Structure 1
Amino acid sequence: MKNIIAVLCLFISTFTGAQTLKVVDVATEIAPATSWLEVIDSGKYANSWQQAGAFFQENVPQTLWVSKLQQVRTPLGAVQSRQGVSRQVLSSIPQLPDGEYVILEFQTDFANKAGSIETVTLKKSAQQWQVIGYFIQ
């Protein structure tokens, strides 16, 4: 009888373990991206550069970043809505070192242009997600 109980307990624990789902906390990626986008939304372009990851800062001079956002982002106007539409997890991106990357796409309606797509690329550094790329379509 003891053997049957031991086997049954082993079977139940094995079955339970097999059914365990891996929970992915996308908030750890989305929160840094949306916080960073809010800095841009408020027109604090220099601050967004300062909050970006080292790779971004090393490859895009702050003055260039600010001037490009003034040319491209400012005319779009205020954000009316922003909704995440895709998430892609990568371990490598061409011309970048291997690592942990996430590419997030948001459908954003601006006051002066509805249906835009914002793409934010994040890289995990020191257990934190940092923005290393941004693109508006």
Structure 2
Amino acid sequence: MIPKRYGIHIVLILACLAIIFGPRIHQKPDSEKGEEATAAAAQFLDLLDAGEYERSWQISASLMKEKVTQEEWVDKLTRIRSISGPLLERTQKRMSFNTAAKDSPEGEYILMFFDSSFEVQKSAKEQVTLMLEEDNVWRVAGYFVK
């Protein structure tokens, strides 16, 4: 049995651990949402890798379509991919779940982070932001590459 004088210390330590690690636990999507979002991201990234930028915009979330026109999207992706070259390898590093995203309405968002290698740009970081839309389908709401 733990002496009474140490009881408060244990309670405080457990409370601190809950404060530190609690939010991290809730940032992981449940497995079903994670699988659905992963499938949507894979479809989207496959289109980008195939140079089908118009089609990638067409299947994206309405939020992305509101922020970027199809012509702007195609132009930006054409420039980015002409600089980086074709994809050689992509490895998913992590995934997180949030109910808010910068400059976006509240909802359900999954952010996926990848380490990628392109023919010219050997080391790149890709981020795909997916959102659960009103029809209960995960769609890409943002794509960034550094």
TM-score, normalized by the shorter chain, greater than 0.5: yes
Asked whether 1:86 is paired with 2:61, we answer no
Asked whether 1:103 is paired with 2:115, we answer no
- Unmatched 5+ residue regions in structure 2? 1-29
2 CA distance for matches of 1:28 and 1:63?
28
TM-score, normalised to structure 2, is: 0.75
Matches within 5 A, 1:49-88: 49-88=57-96
Shift of 1:74: 2.6
TM-score, normalised to structure 1, is: 0.79
What does residue 145 of structure 2 align with?
136
Asked whether 1:115 is paired with 2:123, we answer yes
2 CA distance for matches of 1:75 and 1:51?
24
1 CA distance for matches of 2:80 and 2:39?
24
What does residue 33 of structure 1 align with?
41
The size of the alignment, in residue pairs, is 116
User: Residues 94-115 of structure 1: CA distance to partner in whole angstroms, max 9, x if unpaired?
Assistant: 3211110001011111111122
2 CA distance for matches of 1:105 and 1:94?
16
Asked whether 1:24 is paired with 2:22, we answer no
- Whose helix proportion is higher, 1 or 2? 2
- Structure 1 residue ranges, 4+ long, deviating more than 2 angstroms after superposition: none
- Whose strand proportion is higher, 1 or 2? 1
Higher-Rg member (1/2): 1
- Fraction of identical pairs, as percent: 30
